[in-house]
Amino acid sequence: MLASSTLRRHPDVVAAGLALRGWPAERIAAILAATRAATDAELEEIAASLPNLPDPQAPMTTTVLRQWGTPERQTWQRPHWDLLAHLGWLDVAAARRVAGPRFALLMGEGARLERRLANWMVERQLQQGYTEVAPPALATSAALAATGHLPHFADEMYHIERDDLWLNPTAEAPLVSMLAGSLLVERALPLAYVALLPSFRREAGAAGRQTRGLLRLHQFWKVELARIATPDQGPAAFETLTTHATALLEALLIPYRVLDLAPTDLGFAVQRGRDIEAWYAGMGEWIEVASIGDCGTYQARRARIRYQPRGGGRPRLPHTLHASGLAVGRTLAALVEQAQRPDGSVHLPDLREISSGDVV
């Protein structure tokens, strides 16, 4: 969260940051008025309800930072939901019978491909030096408050009231919260973790093309990357996460583009962010398959994570950074749309862990 001292001593800085995020002037004025009259305890509560302030390097408008590959669409290419149904790999009707709308049920080679793709993503990151973590799928309110998911996203998550536990919306939450209250040592930083975890989100919104097939599901597999770094290591860690996420799409021969996000498009806890959009050849659209976020000290402060500097002195706050590496179902959808052939078959890239260059 924001330091309550920043809110008290530099309200103009906070107001400017909220304005960049697109908050209305009346709402900002109400927060500043409440701040002036607040006790220290009330000030902490106000600070916990506010988003991270944008990094000065964030662009004023979301821009395409770079693009890899050439997006092409042929008239015979199908969207993935049609193609997967044709192959017998996706049964939406069966998923609806089990759990209702916005769920997927993969069958046979489709289920096998998703499992192999997820394992391949994790193995690729282990080769980059990440430590694999298998966290719980449930999290406490305190764990999700530490990462900024609560209270802001409460309506978008699934809550088990009897036990006051939440289904994780992303592995980012446990990968950061597992270090809550820790005192790290600088020589061990940066820490790098990877986790494969089912993610659960309400995904409210009107139905449309981007809610069909494997898009905007209530439950989906996602590989998450997290790095805990010193402030000096933060910029390099941000670039490293971008490289490690995009390298997967290049290996799969899926065109992609990297977006540098404006303050109005940043996640709640993020001070600087990027989205990676894959080209869906059958849909003829760019669709997000990964997000990258630099949270600065925002989450470390909420989770009370510190590190001891090499030369001694007072413990300091590290930076926490995360990236999708990648959303598995969305990547599978982009892969089959890109790899389809005019006869309705799919020719997968020659990656040992996924296929042997098979035509299916």
Q: Where are the domains of the chain?
A: 1-50, 54-339
Residue 319's beta-bridge partner residues?
229
CATH topology for 54-339 is BirA Bifunctional Protein; domain 2 (3.30.930)
Distance of alpha carbon 169 from alpha carbon 202, whole angstroms? 9
> Nearest 5°: phi and psi at 226?
-140, 140
- Kindly state the average pLDDT of the residues 260-270: 96
The distance from CA 21 to its chain's CA centroid, rounded to whole angstroms, is 19
Q: Which two tokens stand for residue 134?
A: 């298998």
Maximum alpha-carbon separation in the chain: 70
Helix (H) or strand (E) holding 14: helix 11-20
Give the SS3 label for residue 243: helix
Q: Which residues are within 8 A (CB) of 187 and not within 5 positions of it... i.e. 6 or more apart?
A: 310
What pLDDT digit, counting tens, does each position of 97-134 carry? 999 999 999 999 999 999 999 999 999 999 999 999 99
Q: What is the pTM of this model?
A: 0.92
Q: CA–CA separation, 340 vs 283, rounded Å?
A: 12
How confident is the model over 18-39, as pLDDT tens digits? 999 999 999 989 888 888 877 7
